A and B are shown apart, each in its own frame.
Chain A
């Protein structure tokens, strides 16, 4: 694998669910070290595409290559060493501690039946320190704040040492401070050569932090590129059916201010 080869290459990706086409011929290609924002209305196929990439859902047609390897031809454990997934919420965790949850990220790497190696523990602890939650390692995940839980979920994905990290709505339950904090962690990971793809509804936040944005609608990609170039009032109207003000603030950062939704035709 050369350094110039794309980390993610998707060709003709189609995913059908019982007659419903969730993804319709997606073609994408990204290099390493990018923070990519995946934007689109509810049900446009963002999460489905991420699940296809991480092989949680098999695609109906098309190919997905991560680091030059076809994921559908790989064993799940091998995919887990290259692609990590951060869910929007931890869900029920049965009293699991933060440390225990982060250590689960080492599962694909542990050959022994029962105990992880000291090296696995070292990597997990280093990730806990990196994301500022080392002091919470023995705390139950359920008792952590939403921001702490989100960082723990990112740390769990991080210890998988992935080439590509897929993050699904990481800031949906977070207040302003934690939203910014989580985005900065994701940006730092991208700067450290990991490719990070984030699905989010906060377009201003995506536009500010992401190197590239992918805009989706009804299972298709309608725009890809620099957020400052592709996010326009016309695009928001076409994709979201919402009138919005799109502009640059005093610092030159893009903002999107929704004004009113466009009524569906009766």
Chain B
């Protein structure tokens, strides 16, 4: 029997509600598509605004917006032509502001998406991108490189990349150990949380030992431990921006699978998802994403935990909306936090990780009070 026939047979038993009959039949998919378009448009508009503000304001003062924009275009044109003769504003906008701004956008978006992925896979609202020990692993090797001069032969002469390289290696090693322990103990979400926690503790302990061994160099690494974009230049900005934004956008392809996973592993498997493979692949992708983010800019907390929750509270549970919104909100929060970090106590810089929490906490607390009662996150 066709499904239509089956449904019409079953409908005989249902009398219907007046509210069903009076309400116009609006397409839920079309509504979602509209909201998605709105997020993209809002994100594009706000990103441009935040971008322009970011390149106009500095510790030295405010450059008029028109000057900043014209310096931006002229410096890019000169860079394309290979002309290195930049004036003061062009130098400032192109060399100081622009790489830092695009790195902040990438790291904000990347950490938010990684947090969103982890929360969906591990199905725990307290999960953040550092849950699998990535930050401790990255911190451990980054500090080994800085504090005690530990290095690898082919990178000895290139100090610009040594900390990021070691951080990526450390983050990925920590994740692989976490995954091995978690899968060896059954592979359930709680196994990942527990394994990540103990691996994180182990690496944090080694990190503390390295710090005590190389305490003369501690000031060099404090920026990294608390998170900062101060050391971002053109040389490393692209290394953060292209893969992080690329991976973040590619991860959105799995939005429907993340929705499925929200129902639990058994239900997702029963609906045709290869749960084991999906979990492994997405965990690896999220961990690589997190490692890339922390490698150049240090450990920036709060964003990866709270931005996905804020988006979920505002937009519901559908990852087709939460993921693009997380990219937009994460990027803007990070841009704004970096702006505050470098201007408030100028010329001194504040750790951006502290600012993200200071800005985000009241906003999130307000959302929690408004919507938390009905939030199942």
On A, residues with C-beta under 8 Å from B are 51, 54-56, 75-81, 83-85, 87, 90-97, 99-101, 103-105, 107-108, 110, 113-116, 118, 121, 123, 125-127, 129-132, 134-135, 137, 140-143, 160-161, 184-185, 188-189, 191-194
Interfacial chain B residues near A101, Cβ < 8 Å: 263
- What are 5 A-B interface contacts by the 8 Å CB criterion? A87-B266, A101-B263, A113-B253, A123-B3, A130-B11
Does B260 lie within 8 Å of A107, measured CB to CB? yes
Shortest Cβ distance from residue B213 to the other chain A in the assembled complex, whole angstroms: 44
Interfacial chain A residues near B185, Cβ < 8 Å: none
Does A184 lie within 8 Å of B13, measured CB to CB? yes
Does B20 lie within 8 Å of A129, measured CB to CB? yes
Interfacial chain A residues near B377, Cβ < 8 Å: 94-95
Interfacial chain B residues near A189, Cβ < 8 Å: 6, 10
Interfacial chain B residues near A94, Cβ < 8 Å: 120, 123, 262, 312, 317, 376-377
Does A129 lie within 8 Å of B11, measured CB to CB? yes
Does A76 lie within 8 Å of B376, measured CB to CB? no
Shortest Cβ distance from residue B314 to the other chain A in the assembled complex, whole angstroms: 11
Give Cα A131 to B11, complex, Å.
8
* B273 in complex: contacting residue of A76, A118, A188, CB < 8 Å: A76
Interface 9-residue window, one of B27-35, B54-62, B148-156, B235-243: B27-35
* Known contacts A94-B377, A107-B272: A192-B29 contact under CB 8 Å: no
Closest to A32 in B: B1
* A95 in complex: contacting residue of B33, B256, B312, B320, CB < 8 Å: B312
Does A129 lie within 8 Å of B14, measured CB to CB? yes
Binary interface profile of B, 11-39, with partner A (CB < 8 Å = 1, else 0)? 10110110110010101110011000000
Does B376 lie within 8 Å of A75, measured CB to CB? no
Interfacial chain A residues near B120, Cβ < 8 Å: 94
Does A85 lie within 8 Å of B270, measured CB to CB? yes
Interfacial chain A residues near B262, Cβ < 8 Å: 93-94, 96
For chain B, the count of residues having a C-beta within 8 Å of the partner chain is 49
Closest to A139 in B: B374
Give Cα A142 to B374, complex, Å.
8
* Known contacts A107-B256, A125-B25, A143-B374: A100-B11 contact under CB 8 Å: no
Give Cα A123 to B3, complex, Å.
9
Does A121 lie within 8 Å of B29, measured CB to CB? yes
Does B123 lie within 8 Å of A92, measured CB to CB? yes
Give Cα A123 to B29, complex, Å.
13
Does B267 lie within 8 Å of A97, measured CB to CB? no
Question: Assuming A87-B266, A92-B376, A129-B14, what are 12 further A-B pairs, CB within 8 angstroms?
Answer: A56-B269, A77-B272, A80-B272, A95-B312, A108-B271, A108-B272, A121-B28, A126-B7, A134-B17, A135-B19, A188-B9, A188-B10
Does B270 lie within 8 Å of A80, measured CB to CB? yes
Interfacial chain B residues near A118, Cβ < 8 Å: 27, 29
| CB interface residues, B 299-346, toward A, < 8 Å | 312-313, 316-318, 320
Of B3, B5, B9, B263, the most chain A CB neighbours within 10 A belong to B263
Give Cα A107 to B120, complex, Å.
17
Shortest Cβ distance from residue B295 to the other chain A in the assembled complex, whole angstroms: 30
* B317 in complex: contacting residue of A80, A95, A127, CB < 8 Å: A95
Does A75 lie within 8 Å of B25, measured CB to CB? no
Give Cα A95 to B272, complex, Å.
22
Does A130 lie within 8 Å of B316, measured CB to CB? no
Of A85, A87, A134, the most chain B CB neighbours within 10 A belong to A134
Give Cα A184 to B12, complex, Å.
12
Shortest Cβ distance from residue A127 to the other chain B in the assembled complex, whole angstroms: 8
Give Cα A91 to B262, complex, Å.
10
Does A191 lie within 8 Å of B29, measured CB to CB? no
Interfacial chain A residues near B33, Cβ < 8 Å: 115
Closest to B32 in A: A115
Considering the complex of A and B, which 3 residue pairs feature the smallest CB-CB distances, nearest first? A77-B272, A142-B376, A80-B272
Interfacial chain B residues near A77, Cβ < 8 Å: 272
Interfacial chain B residues near A83, Cβ < 8 Å: 270
Interfacial chain B residues near A113, Cβ < 8 Å: 253, 256
Does A100 lie within 8 Å of B269, measured CB to CB? no
* Known contacts A126-B7, A130-B11, A142-B376: A135-B270 contact under CB 8 Å: no
Give Cα A101 to B6, complex, Å.
21
Closest to B1 in A: A193
Does A104 lie within 8 Å of B259, measured CB to CB? yes
Binary interface profile of B, 155-191, with partner A (CB < 8 Å = 1, else 0)? 0000000000000000000000000000000000000
Whether, in the assembled complex, B274 has its beta carbon less than 8 Å from a beta carbon of chain A, the answer is: yes
Does B272 lie within 8 Å of A56, measured CB to CB? no
